[in-house]
């Protein structure tokens, strides 16, 4: 990825965040963005493993933009997801089951704190 974060989103490919082989294949498809789904596509018992796998993808040599679909704000995994990915510069963070503008503000504020702590340029 270049530092230019602007790109056209024509096709988005959702992949379960705990499916390493599917993730690797997805990164080689012509999809414009690969979305690693840490939410509905991952069983509660696999959330931690999926989060670690997603972090590995974000730390690696990204062949295309990568989005992370985190768990909803009212789940026990939300803050763990944010803490894991906050400083790794995902191209997109998707917030599922958002019910109010306050949910988005909360996410933005928390990402700003995590990115500042990791010295991520805004």
Note the pLDDT tens digit of each residue in 63-103.
899 999 999 999 999 999 999 998 888 999 999 999 999 99
Q: How many domains is the chain partitioned into structurally? A: 1
In the DSSP assignment, the letter for residue 82 is H
In a domain, 85, yes or no: yes
Residues in contact with 118: Cβ distance below 8 Å, sequence separation at least 6, in sequence order = 86, 87, 88
In a domain, 6, yes or no: no
For 53: left if phi > 0, alpha if psi spans -120 to 50, otherwise beta; the answer is alpha
**In the chain, count of helices (H) and strands (E)?**
4, 4
In a domain, 1, yes or no: no
In a domain, 3, yes or no: no
Residue 8 has pLDDT above 80, yes or no: no
CATH number of the domain enclosing 99: 3.20.20.60
In a domain, 81, yes or no: yes
Q: What is the pLDDT of residues 22-76, one digit of tens each?
A: 999 999 999 999 999 999 999 999 999 999 999 999 999 888 999 999 999 999 9
- Write out the residue range of the structural domain in which residue 88 sits: 12-117
In a domain, 5, yes or no: no
Q: Which of 1-5, 6-10, 16-20, 50-54 has the lowest mean pLDDT?
A: 1-5
In a domain, 122, yes or no: no
Q: Which of 15, 84, 21 is nearest to 51 (CA)?
A: 84
């Amino acid at each position: 990825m270049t530092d230019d974060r602007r790109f056209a989103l024509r096709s988005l490919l959702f992949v379960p965040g705990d499916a390493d082989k599917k993730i690797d294949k997805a990164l080689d498809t012509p999809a414009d963005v690969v979305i690693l789904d840490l939410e509905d596509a991952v069983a509660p018992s696999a959330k931690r493993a999926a989060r670690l796998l997603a972090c590995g993808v974000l730390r690696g040599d990204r062949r295309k933009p990568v989005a992370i679909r985190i768990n909803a704000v009212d789940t026990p995994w939300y803050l763990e997801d944010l803490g894991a990915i906050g400083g790794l510069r995902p191209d997109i963070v998707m917030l599922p089951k958002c019910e109010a503008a306050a949910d988005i503000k909360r996410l933005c504020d928390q990402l700003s704190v995590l990115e500042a702590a990791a010295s991520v340029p805004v």
